[in-house]
Amino acid sequence: EVQLVESGGGLVEPGRSLRLSCTTSGFTFGDYAMSWFRQAPGKGLEWVGFIRSKPYGGTTEEAASVKGRFTISRDDSKSIAYLQMNSLKTEDTAVYYCTRYSGVVPAARFDSWGQGTLVTVAS
């Protein structure tokens, strides 16, 4: 069974840093791209960033709203994806979800989601 479990959320002051982890199991992590999304309280979904699998360069993309502050990385030996969040702002308050991306066109899809971890940025 494919499982993704986010951790590392919590209450943090503006300007501080936090690192989220997405621990996975049930599939060959290194074969898949991973992505992070977030959802502010009572709001819709927003894409945060994406990391390709190593065979596709392991490169990353980030949304403009977090570019330069957030960094996505992966440790294929541990089957974990990370979201390093620096210079946090109050508007970064949200539930953060990690997802698996199955990228074979025409069947490309974000097919598995974690349960999410809440990040609250407040003083």
Partner 1 sequence: DIVLTQSPGTMSLSPGERATLSCRASQSVSSSYLAWYQQKPGQAPRLLIYGASSRATGIPDRFSGSGSGTDFTLTISRLEPEDFAVYYCQQYDSSPWTFGQGTKVEIK
The footprint of partner 1 (CB under 8 A) covers 44-47, 50, 61, 63-64, 97, 105-111, 113-116
Between 66 and 121, name the residue whose CB sits nearer to partner 1. 66
Q: Tell me the closest approach of the beta carbon of residue 44 to partner 1, in angstroms.
A: 5
Q: Tell me if 121 sits within 8 A of 90, measured CB to CB.
A: yes
Q: Tell me the closest approach of the beta carbon of residue 35 to partner 1, in angstroms.
A: 8
Degrees (nearest 5) of the Cα angle 57, 59, 65?
170
Between 30 and 47, name the residue whose CB sits nearer to partner 1. 47
Q: Tell me the closest approach of the beta carbon of residue 48 to partner 1, in angstroms.
A: 10
Between 60 and 86, name the residue whose CB sits nearer to partner 1. 60
Q: Tell me the closest approach of the beta carbon of residue 46 to partner 1, in angstroms.
A: 7
